[in-house]
Chains A and B, each alone.
Chain A
């Protein structure tokens, strides 16, 4: 099972890329852990998570080819 992660804003500075494919994760909590292992600086970054373009606030079960967006808050005006 593959999950596609797209990354916005300054989180790209941490991951070095705006798109990551992750294999074999069952839910968003597991995905967050997996990403934090690969990119430890993500642990202290703040971001909202969207599953297939819907913002989720609680742990959400994932299925093959879901697209997950990591969206940090912007303050600039």
Chain B
């Protein structure tokens, strides 16, 4: 890397005596994983990339939709239907070509989370559902990684730094010390049902970037063992202290094997988690009231003869939804990317009136 050139980019923050050249080098050497490139992830990513965090991972398996754009400020109307992780990477890479940005265009699960998170120094949680939040929390506890948490609802936001030592050497606090177990589906509404003011995640996601930069450079007082709430209507900030408890510690899986065996995907899974594996796919093939849709272009190989299906290329799915009358729709493509986009299109059309799935890994990874 051309150090003079890169330092000019950061000159205004290096003028701060708390940052300086030493702080900038810490940022450039740091590795931050941002999970969820949505309302919180977009501003967090933007400021982390601009500040020169040397390696940034972006996990998101979702595609951009029109309803995202009032708050997910990295994307434009032209990005609708495209994968968020890849679009965010392209935008941030042009913002700062000197850093390394790694997109993970898949859903983080308890099967892959430990491998991904282990590569990073700090995790930023910008997900939109409880199952991911508990899974990420537990993974960070097991791997001993600081977790910069935030969540929003309507006009209010919460920010905290979990699993991080504080100056008083108190026991590290994690999300389960605040809310030991996940709520049932009916106990809380998510963004889609509760609504959110677009600027709110802009403020809260920026706070996550701020906490992350403080952790990396070792300046100020990060929100370790503290939870900050912000109300956008009243501008009230309310800070709560938390302490670790033996009782909640019992909810954390004891090792990596038990982590992988926990079912995090109960009722609170994201409404857009369409992906199913080969076994589930094969089981659904035996059901009535099902349409399997090949969303590849005509002529793509292999041609599928093993099960009955219709052929609607991704670009035509939106126009042909009126032909789809069954209760269950399953999309597939070559490797699972386009079928996710098609599932999203179908979901935007049908909402909860149909069950919509996408074959994970595509037909090349399908096991009959």
Contact = CB atoms under 8 A, between A and B. Distances in A.
11 contacts: A8-B229, A10-B154, A50-B240, A55-B227, A71-B158, A72-B188, A73-B183, A74-B188, A75-B129, A75-B151, A76-B151
B243 A55 contact: yes
Contacts of A55: 177-178, 227, 240-243
Interface string B165-195: 0000000000001111001101111110010
A45 B243 CA distance: 23
B158 to A, nearest CB: 6
B153 interface: yes
B156 interface: yes
Contacts of B229: 8, 71
A74 B159 CA distance: 11
Contact of A76 (B177, B194, B268): B194
B127 A77 contact: yes
Nearest to B231: A8
Interface of B: 36, 38-41, 125-130, 133, 150-154, 156-158, 177-180, 183-184, 186-191, 194, 196, 201, 227, 229, 238-243, 245, 247-248, 268
Describe B's contact surface by its main secondary structure: mixed
B130 A73 contact: yes
A69 B227 CA distance: 12
A73 B268 CA distance: 13
B127 A74 contact: no
Given A73-B130, A76-B153, A53 B188 contact: no
A69 B184 CA distance: 21
Interface in A32-55: 44-46, 48, 50, 53-55
A46 to B, nearest CB: 4
Given A10-B194, A75-B128, A77-B201, A54 B189 contact: no
B342 to A, nearest CB: 24
Given A55-B177, A57-B248, A75 B240 contact: no
B291 to A, nearest CB: 32
Contacts of B188: 10, 46, 72-75
A50 B158 CA distance: 14
Contacts of A44: 186-187
A46 B128 contact: no
A52 to B, nearest CB: 10
B181 to A, nearest CB: 9
A9 interface: yes
B128 A77 contact: yes
Contacts of A54: 240-243
Contacts of A72: 188
Contacts of B36: 77
A8 B186 contact: no
A76 B248 contact: no
Contact of A45 (B41, B187, B191, B268): B187
Given A48-B178, A69-B240, 12 more contacts: A46-B183, A53-B240, A57-B177, A69-B238, A71-B158, A74-B152, A74-B153, A75-B133, A77-B125, A77-B126, A77-B128, A77-B150
Contacts of A50: 240
B154 A77 contact: no
Contacts of B40: 77
B239 A53 contact: yes
Interface in A56-74: 57, 69, 71-74
Nearest to A47: B179
Nearest to A77: B128
A15 B129 CA distance: 25
A44 B186 CA distance: 9
A75 B130 contact: yes
Contact of B268 (A6, A53, A71, A75): A75
Nearest to B133: A75
Contacts of A71: 158, 227, 229, 240
